[in-house]
Amino acid sequence: MGRADAEPWYDEDDFDWQLSLGAFYVNTKLPSLIGAKHEFSSLAPLIDAKLRYKNFYLNTHSGDFFGGSDLGYQLVQRDGWGLDVIFGNYQIPFSENGYYSNDDKVKELEGIKERKVDQSIGFAYYQNVGEYLAVVELVYDVFGESDGWVFHIEATRNFELRNWDLWLNFGANYYSQNFNDYFYGVDPSEVNDYLYGFTAGDGATAFVQTQLNYPIAQDWVYSAGLSVLVGSGGVKSSPLVESNYARVVFTGVKYVF
């Protein structure tokens, strides 16, 4: 059985990189915004990069799960635990066009201000717990507009099943009232025929994810994954959203350079 580990995942040399290119089918269902499209399917190119220079690292994920990037700096690396400074995004942006700006304007959302993606900075603490790697993150939306913070906790384990990797990841997020209200509150200036004024309280989500990887040939990997996230009831009270459920299913192949 494999175990997730807080040891550095790269060599101790100064610079490492890894680039993956592939094609993935991704089906995403996001929390339903009133009147807006919330399910998306695509056969999309995947470009993933892992860069590490000394203690800095950048990981981008364009093809699997919800995408995004991780930028970090390893402050402490010890046997069994570590502490990083991290930069990342914890909420998906949306506007009166829905989740993606190239969609048509949604009449139910007309007049709302753009909810820009958070630009959060904070700390991530890693700790081996038996066969699991536990991660606790506390970040503040420093460069975004929410003035809120997010507490994230998760556990990851890798099961090595012959040549297959089966990753299991589960955890929860807690969003401060400011953070939640920025995305799901409705200001008086945004009120329209469909939206009433609303102040969102704090919120939470729980999630479970799994991913299968298999080496189909040298440098080629097949992957498939499923991610499910459920939000707390408070978010559903917002007139902006009709559901607090999200999931992603993906499958595809990638070439690893």
Per-residue tokens: 249: 């299913």
Whichever of 79 and 193 has its CB closer to another protein, that residue is 79
For residues 204 to 243, the per-residue mask of contacts with another protein, x marking binding by CB under 8 A and - elsewhere, is -x-x-x---xxxxxxxxx-----x-x--------------
Is residue 5 close enough to count as binding another protein by CB under 8 A? yes
Whichever of 7 and 145 has its CB closer to another protein, that residue is 7
Whichever of 89 and 146 has its CB closer to another protein, that residue is 89
Phi-psi region of 219 (alpha: psi -120 to 50; beta: other; left: phi over 0): left
CA dihedral angle for residue 127, residue 148, residue 144, residue 92, rounded to 10 degrees = 70
Whichever of 191 and 212 has its CB closer to another protein, that residue is 212
Entry field: residues in the chain: 257
Is residue 124 close enough to count as binding another protein by CB under 8 A? yes
Kindly tell me which residue out of 61, 116, 236, 247 binds another protein, with binding defined by CB under 8 A.
Answer: 61
Whichever of 109 and 211 has its CB closer to another protein, that residue is 211
Determine the residue type at 190: E
Kindly tell me which residue out of 24, 65, 179, 182 binds another protein, with binding defined by CB under 8 A.
Answer: 65
Q: How far apart are CA 163 and CA 189, in angstroms?
A: 56
Residue 110: exposure state from Cβ atoms within 10 A (0-12, 13-18, ≥19): middle
For residues 162 to 201, the per-residue mask of contacts with another protein, x marking binding by CB under 8 A and - elsewhere, is xx-x-x-x---x----------------------------
Is residue 11 close enough to count as binding another protein by CB under 8 A? yes
Alpha carbon of residue 39 to chain centroid: 17
Q: Which spans in 137-237 are helix H?
A: 177-184, 233-236
Which H or E element spans position 90? Answer: none
Kindly tell me which residue out of 135, 186, 200, 240 binds another protein, with binding defined by CB under 8 A.
Answer: 135
For residues 15 to 34, the per-residue mask of contacts with another protein, x marking binding by CB under 8 A and - elsewhere, is -x-x----------------
The CA distances from residue 206 to 58, 143, 191, 196, in Å, are 25, 25, 30, 27
Q: How far apart are CA 220 and CA 64, in angstroms?
A: 16
Kindly tell me which residue out of 48, 154, 181, 190 binds another protein, with binding defined by CB under 8 A.
Answer: 154
Whichever of 189 and 218 has its CB closer to another protein, that residue is 218
Asked whether 257 and 49 are in contact (CB, 8 A), the reply is no
- Binding region for another protein (CB under 8 A): 4-11, 16, 18, 59, 61, 65-70, 82, 86, 88-92, 124, 126, 133, 135, 152, 154, 156, 160, 162-163, 165, 167, 169, 173, 205, 207, 209, 213-221, 227, 229, 246, 256
